Amino acid sequence: MSGRVAVIGLDCAEPRLVFDRWRDELPSFSRLMDAGTWGPLRSVDPPITVPAWSCMMTGRDPGELGIYGFRNRSAYDYHSLTVADSSAVKIDRVWDHLSRAGKHVITVGVPQTSPPVAVNGVDPASFAELTWRIVPWAERAWNDIRAVNGALPFRHDHYLKLWQLTRPRIGADYMMFDEAQDANPVIVAVVQDQSGLQKVAVGDSCQAIYGWRGAIDALATWPATTRLHLSQSFRFGPAVAEEANKWLVVLGDPFRGRRSTFRRDSLVRLLMSAGLTAQRDLIDRLNVAGDISVLFAQSRREVRSDPPLTAAEVQSDASAGRNATAAVSTQGCD
């Protein structure tokens, strides 16, 4: 038996496709399967990249590790969120045990291993040398991809990046950027590079699940002048929301523990003050199903009865908010 072992994991790969249906179309994997040992592994709950890989490498479950996703809570509230990087894993992983046993180890592309920690093998000090050796090859690959007669395949990510590098201008008055918690950094750069229009990013940082694909939580660093919380869900009724608010008060959340119901004109006034819309009929179209209830920093059960907006007020507020930028969080909602 060889003294060296290579462990290859395929994140989010459907075993029935890789090991069965597509095996003939994956000759490299097929050769590895013929020469080694392979099989599907049962994931953990929640079955996502983080914490699954760390659970596999430590032999501990998410509860023991205290890690439940890419975005981890550092306190018992909805605001103290941190990125679950390698420093969040307090249990030795398999390469730590191997290092102490004198084995030479290297990890490549394993989730939740950044920032890197010292091992008996490729340690952090070696990454500078690896970068020095790899960057020239990466530059050659990029030049080949851009060449009309290049040998490397030209894929979606490549032409998207080429388009972003041209710094495209999008002629619009408003730009709504949804699912910003799982954003392609290239698209984020395109949106944030626009000027002379209102930009609104919407998302829920607690539902960021595509970090394995290179997605980022753009909400966390969005350069917003206004931040609002959407707090009405159509998945449950007011009774469930009322009970949830009781527990949020216990957890010390200052925003969600206070509940108000606004009439439609009040909601329009709120959005207009943030420069989110310049047309009253937009809210009318959004509100065809009935009154919209929102949570805001007012006393619980308070009902606002602002007078209807006049045409002059609408025009004035629209002009004032022309270049406003907003980030809207749907945290806890759908």
Which pLDDT score is estimated for 55? 94
Query: For residue 108, how many other CB atoms are within 10 A of its CB?
Result: 8
Degrees to nearest 5, angle at CA 69 with 235 and 161: 95
Distance CA 151, CA 162 (A): 18
Which pLDDT score is estimated for 111? 87
Going residue by residue through the chain, which has 334 residues, state the pLDDT in tens, using 9 for 90 and above.
457 888 888 888 888 888 899 999 988 889 989 988 888 888 898 888 999 999 999 999 999 998 988 888 777 777 777 888 888 999 999 999 999 998 888 887 788 888 878 888 875 556 666 777 788 999 999 999 999 899 999 999 999 999 999 999 998 998 999 999 999 999 999 999 999 899 999 988 878 888 878 889 998 888 888 888 766 666 667 777 777 777 777 766 655 533 434 334 444 454 555 454 444 444 444 443 333 333 333 323 333 444 444 445 444 444 444 434 445 444 444 3
By CB atoms closer than 10 A (0-12, 13-18, 19+), residue 81 is buried
Kindly report the three-state secondary structure assignment for every residue of 266-294.
HHHHHHHHCCCCCCHHHHHHHCCCCCCCC
Distance CA 230, CA 52 (A): 31
Question: What are the sequence ranges of the domains in the chain?
Answer: 15-122, 167-329
Which pLDDT score is estimated for 220? 85
Q: Which two tokens stand for residue 20?
A: 């069965």
Residue 205 in contact with residue 220, Cβ under 8 Å?
A: yes
Distance CA 330, CA 233 (A): 9
Q: What are the φ and ψ backbone dihedral angles of 155, each rounded to 5 degrees?
A: -110, 180
Buried b (16+ CB within 10 A) or exposed e, 152-181: eeeeeeeeebeebeeeeeeeeeebebebbb
Residue 156 in contact with residue 194, Cβ under 8 Å?
A: no
Residue 262 in contact with residue 302, Cβ under 8 Å?
A: no
Sequence letter at residue 322: R
Distance CA 281, CA 332 (A): 28
Which pLDDT score is estimated for 262? 37
Which pLDDT score is estimated for 152? 92
Which pLDDT score is estimated for 186? 94
